[in-house]
Amino acid sequence: MLFLIYISSGLFLGWSLGANDAANVFGTAVGSKMVSFKKAALIASIFVILGAVFQGRGGAETLNSLGMVDALAGGFTVSLCAAFVVFIMTKKGLPVSTTQAVVGAIMGWSFFTGHQADYSVLATIVSTWIISPILGMIFSSLLFLLVRYILCKSKIHVIKLDYYIRIGLIIVGAFGAYSLGANNIANVMGVFTSVAPEIILDFGITQLDGMQLLFLLGGIAIAVGIYTYGNKVMQTVGDGILSLTPEAAIVVVLSQGLVLFIFSSAGLSNLFVSIGLPPIPLVPVSSSQVVVGSVLGIGIVKGAREIRINTLGNIALGWITTPLLSGFLTYFLLFFMQNVFRLEVTSTKVTQQIINQNDIITKSTFSTINLVLPMLLIISILIIVGLVYYVLNQKKIKSNSDKELIAQQNEYFDAQKKLNKLEIIAVQSENNLLNAKLEAKRKEFIDIALNLTEQRHFLEQVIEQIDFIKSSVESKVTESQLRNLANLLRQRMTFSSEKEAFYVQVEQIHKDFRMKLETNFTELSDLDKKLAILIRLNLSTKEMATLLGISPKSVEVSRYRLKKKIGLGKDDNLIHFINNL
């Protein structure tokens, strides 16, 4: 039980890493809206645990050789301080390096306990803080150019491309999560490997030793961190430095996975040695640094103008302050753990030497410490209270400012809404007026058509009477006169000028409709166009016959031919089609 309490700080660190570093595996995918956060978190959690358990030993051994934390209390303090620093940076939404926090905490432990740190290992680890983002930048630049070339040559349909990119993001995300677990589990449980329980559990298909069980617990803690707090950092990495396209997102995830895999693969390191090259150092590198470097690589290819310098500066500041803050915090917390709580922060032999030295110092300065320590505690409390007050006051000011801004935005939206309503009312009024004018014109045309029909009907009656007189009168003179009268009336019945004026006015009102007819149906005759306009006016067959100067039967035939030319079927409604054209 005591062992679990001590490694709880490591689990807290794993949670912080999941919220910060592990989130970067799918940060670009989530930031570009190609993969949902829940799906990304599930895939990352599964594969980060697999990578931690089955390939996490190499980086943990390297980190442990930097400064072997040989006591549970010391390991607890180192992990707690590193986790606290990462947690603070995560709250700020900055993708800091968990590796830097852990290394800074280990160096703080080494300085306090008097252990000699392996500076060659420290130099190797620090060099990867520079090399890893550069490698990410190189990989992402080359991969982005390759992907862009392939897309230009293949000309894949946009729907298929979207599907392929989503699948690709899931695959490379799983690979990146596996590499992250293999590489960064050393940050979570590396300080506890020297005190790992000597047990082996047989699960049938595989066996796990004590170190792998520690890595399993750490991997689960990382997964919890991804789910509970990873979304904010995903958004910062995915869209805070540079707005990423889906193609760029898959390149960044793949670049990050490759760099982490390189620094955690013992097989690849042995391959380099076998061909006469220097071995690849198996060290935990920062996924945050690699992702930022990868995003910068794409930004350089696309044009450096797109890079957001302010966000980049904040991230760089977090990288610099993380190891320093973690080291100082660890040093002072170890003092309280050893002198206040009387816990062993290193092995018994070394601890006894330190205690003897401390006893000598204590005897000579006991009274001074009794005076200084309360004063330091009071000053620390005052500083903490002041910081809390300052933070709360800043939040209050920001909250008031946000409320004022929201109130102004609401007023603007209300005014815009009222303006939109007034515009809609004005448009509706204008449409109603136009509809009224159009209806008045339509009635006017119908009245003209009815008038022409009535006149034709009257004159037909006159002709019938004349024909009757003509048939009953014997005189050739009378017959000739009556014939001339009938011809004159027939000429009058053409109503050429009236019909011409009628069509001029109708076509003026319906010029857009006639233009659509001429554009869409080029084979229509002038008679067909006139018939279509009369149908649009909703005139009867007899009225259309009068205006066209043909018989009602001929109107029906013309309607049938018009329907065929337009391309309507037997069951299609000609009137409905013309009214909706």
The secondary element (H helix, E strand) that includes residue 200 is: strand 200-202
Number of H helices, E strands in the chain: 22, 2
The secondary element (H helix, E strand) that includes residue 169 is: helix 158-189
* pLDDT of 236: 57
| pTM strictly above 0.85 | no
Is 520 contained in some domain?
yes
Domain endpoint, select from 326, 346, 366: 346
* pLDDT of 330: 92
Residues 6+ apart with CB under 8 A from 506: 445, 533, 537
Residues 6+ apart with CB under 8 A from 438: 509
How confident is the model over 316-360, as pLDDT tens digits? 677 778 888 899 999 999 988 888 888 888 875 544 444 444 444
CB atoms within 10 A of CB 290: 35
Which residue segment(s) compose the domain that 102 sits in?
A: 2-346
How far apart, in whole angstroms, are the C-alpha atoms of residue 36 and residue 571? 49
Domain endpoint, select from 286, 317, 346: 346
Domain endpoint, select from 314, 346, 378: 346
Strands 207-209, 200-202: parallel, antiparallel or unpaired by DSSP? antiparallel
As a dihedral over the C-alpha atoms of residue 35, residue 36, residue 38, residue 41, rounded to 10 degrees, the angle is: 30
* CATH code for the domain of 537: 1.10.10.10
**Contact (CB, 8 A) for 326 and 108:** yes
* pLDDT of 329: 92
Is 41 contained in some domain?
yes
Is 355 contained in some domain?
no
Is 420 contained in some domain?
no
- Residues in the chain predicted with pLDDT less than 50, given as ranges, are 238, 241, 350-377, 380, 383-384, 387
**Contact (CB, 8 A) for 96 and 86:** yes
DSSP 201-236: EE-SS-EEEHHHHHHHHHHHHHHHHHHHHHHHHHHH
Tokens representing 530 are: 């006139």
* pLDDT of 359: 47
* pLDDT of 373: 39
DSSP 455-467: HHHHHHHHHHHHH
CB atoms within 10 A of CB 478: 13
As a dihedral over the C-alpha atoms of residue 261, residue 265, residue 268, residue 270, rounded to 10 degrees, the angle is: 160
Is 96 contained in some domain?
yes
How far apart, in whole angstroms, are the C-alpha atoms of residue 68 and residue 63? 8
Is 573 in a helix, a strand, or coil? Answer: coil
Angstrom distances, CA of residue 138 to CA of 18, 150, 287: 26, 18, 15
Closest-CA residue to 72 (of 168, 2, 21, 156) = 2
**Contact (CB, 8 A) for 22 and 177:** yes
As a dihedral over the C-alpha atoms of residue 340, residue 342, residue 345, residue 346, rounded to 10 degrees, the angle is: 140
What is the Cα 132 distance to its own chain's centre? Answer: 26
Is 246 contained in some domain?
yes
Report the interhelical angle of 287-302 vs 246-262 (nearest 10°). 140
Is 240 contained in some domain?
yes
Angstrom distances, CA of residue 350 to CA of 64, 71, 113, 353: 18, 11, 8, 5
Is 81 contained in some domain?
yes
**Contact (CB, 8 A) for 449 and 539:** yes
How far apart, in whole angstroms, are the C-alpha atoms of residue 6 and residue 194? 14
Q: Give the N- to C-terminal CA distance of the chain in Å, as an integer.
A: 82
How far apart, in whole angstroms, are the C-alpha atoms of residue 202 and residue 138? 43
Count of domains forming the chain: 2
Residues 6+ apart with CB under 8 A from 338: 344, 345, 354
Residue 563 exposed, middle or buried by CB count within 10 Å (0-12, 13-18, 19+):
middle
Cβ density class 32-54: b for 16+ within 10 Å, e for less: bebbebebbbebbbbbbbbbbbe
How far apart, in whole angstroms, are the C-alpha atoms of residue 82 and residue 327? 8
